[in-house]
C-alpha cells in the first residue's frame, strides 16, 4: 500500500508536469534561399534548404528542398527553374536552357512555392556590365615576378565603373589543384602543388580553392598571397547589388554569421542578389618541378 504522503507527492508531480513549457527539442524550421543572378550568364546554382533541429547532426541531404516550384521573371522574360541533383547531395535549381542569359539593368522578381504552402518572394535589380581596363596577364611566374614585375605591374587590375555600385568583390580561384603539366607545352605528367607559407598551415579556410577580397575602388594591386596553388586560376571582379554585397560581407568576412533581419527574402531568410562580373584566367608558373 502506497503511503498517503506519497500519493500527495505523485499528484502534485502530475499537476506540475501538465503545466511545463514545451520540451527544448520542439523546433520550428526556417527556410533558407540562396541565389545570385550573374549578368550575361544563365540562371544557375540556386539553393533552397530548411534549417534542422539543433540536436540533429547537419547533413545537406536532409536539409535540401528538392520539390519547390521556383520562378524568376522580369518585364522581358520568365524563367521556370528545375532542380538538378548531384552525387554529393548538394543539388541546385537552374534553368536548363543555358542560352537564356541574365540581362543588365533589369529588375528580376523571384517566387518559390513549397509543398507545405509556404511562399518565398524577393527581387533584385541587376547592375550594369563592367569590363577590364587592365586585366591580369595570362601567364605569371612565381616567385620571379614577385621581385621583378614588368611595367605596368602584372598584378594591378583596373575595371570600368558600374553605375550605382561603390563597393566590389574579388575572387581568385584555382581551377585545377591536381594537374599542372597537362596545361604546359609540351604536356607533362607533373602534378600541381600548393604555394606553401608557414603562416597559413592552421588557417580556417586553408583547403578552400577560392580566395575572396572586398574592395572600395575600381583598381587593386593583387598580392601574391592571394594565390594558394600554382597552375590555372580564374580571377573575377564582381559589381554586386546591395543584397549580395551585404550577404558576402557578413558570411564571408564576418565570421560565417548572417543577421537575419538584413535578409531580403520574404517568407524565409537568405539572399536573392545579382552582380555584373569581369573574368580572366591566369596561369601561375612554378619556379621548379
Distance of CA 41 to the CA centre of its chain: 16
The dihedral through the CA atoms of 194, 198, 201, 206 has a sign that is: negative
Alpha carbon distance 172, 226 (integer Å): 7
Q: What is the mean pLDDT of the chain?
A: 84
Domain limits, the chain = 31-125, 132-249+275-285
Q: Which CATH number, 1.10.3470, 2.60.40, 3.40.50, 1.10.3210, labels domain 31-125?
A: 2.60.40
Ordered DSSP codes for 170-225: EEEEES-SSBSGGGSSS---PBP-B---GGGTT-TTTT-SEEEEEESSSEEE--GG
Please answer whether residues 130 and 277 qualify as being in contact, where contact means their C-beta atoms are separated by less than 8 angstroms.
yes
Give the pTM.
Answer: 0.83
Residue found under cell 584566367:
281
Give the tens place of pLDDT for each residue, 236-246.
Answer: 999 999 999 99
Q: How many CA atoms within 13 Å lie on the side-chain side of 168?
A: 24
Q: Is the pLDDT of residue 284 over 70?
A: yes
**Residue 57 burial (C-beta neighbours within 10 Å; 0-12, 13-18, 19+):** exposed
pLDDT, position 256: 58
Which range is least confidently modeled, 25-34, 92-101, 204-213?
A: 25-34
Q: Is the pLDDT of residue 16 over 50?
A: no
Confidence band for 13, pLDDT divided at 50, 70 and 90: very low
Amino acid at each position: 500500500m502506497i503511503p498517503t504522503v506519497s500519493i500527495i507527492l505523485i499528484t502534485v508531480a502530475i499537476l506540475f508536469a501538465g503545466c511545463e513549457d514545451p520540451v527544448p527539442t520542439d523546433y520550428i524550421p526556417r527556410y533558407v534561399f540562396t541565389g545570385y543572378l550573374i549578368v550575361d550568364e544563365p540562371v544557375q546554382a540556386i539553393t533552397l534548404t530548411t534549417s534542422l533541429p539543433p540536436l540533429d547532426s547537419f547533413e545537406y541531404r536532409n536539409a535540401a528542398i528538392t520539390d519547390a516550384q521556383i520562378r524568376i521573371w522580369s518585364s522581358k522574360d520568365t524563367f521556370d527553374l528545375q532542380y538538378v541533383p548531384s552525387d554529393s547531395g548538394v543539388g541546385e535549381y537552374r534553368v536548363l536552357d543555358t542560352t537564356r542569359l541574365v540581362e543588365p539593368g533589369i529588375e528580376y522578381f523571384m517566387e518559390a512555392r513549397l509543398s507545405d504552402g509556404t511562399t518565398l518572394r524577393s527581387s533584385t535589380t541587376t547592375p550594369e556590365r563592367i569590363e577590364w581596363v587592365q586585366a591580369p596577364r595570362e601567364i605569371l611566374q612565381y616567385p620571379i615576378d614577385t621581385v621583378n614585375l614588368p611595367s605596368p605591374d602584372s598584378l594591378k587590375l583596373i575595371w570600368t565603373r558600374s553605375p550605382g555600385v561603390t563597393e566590389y568583390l574579388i575572387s581568385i580561384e584555382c581551377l585545377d589543384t591536381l594537374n599542372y603539366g597537362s596545361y604546359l607545352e609540351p604536356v607533362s605528367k607533373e602534378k600541381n602543388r600548393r604555394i606553401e607559407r608557414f603562416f597559413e598551415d592552421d588557417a580556417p579556410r586553408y583547403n578552400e580553392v577560392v580566395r575572396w577580397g572586398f574592395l572600395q575602388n575600381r583598381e587593386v594591386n593583387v598580392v601574391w598571397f592571394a594565390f594558394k596553388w600554382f597552375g590555372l586560376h580564374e580571377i573575377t571582379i564582381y559589381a554586386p547589388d546591395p543584397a549580395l554585397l551585404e550577404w558576402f560581407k557578413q558570411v564571408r568576412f564576418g565570421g560565417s554569421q548572417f543577421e537575419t533581419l538584413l535578409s531580403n527574402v520574404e517568407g524565409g531568410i537568405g539572399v536573392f542578389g545579382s552582380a555584373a562580373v569581369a573574368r580572366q584566367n591566369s596561369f601561375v608558373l612554378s619556379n621548379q618541378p
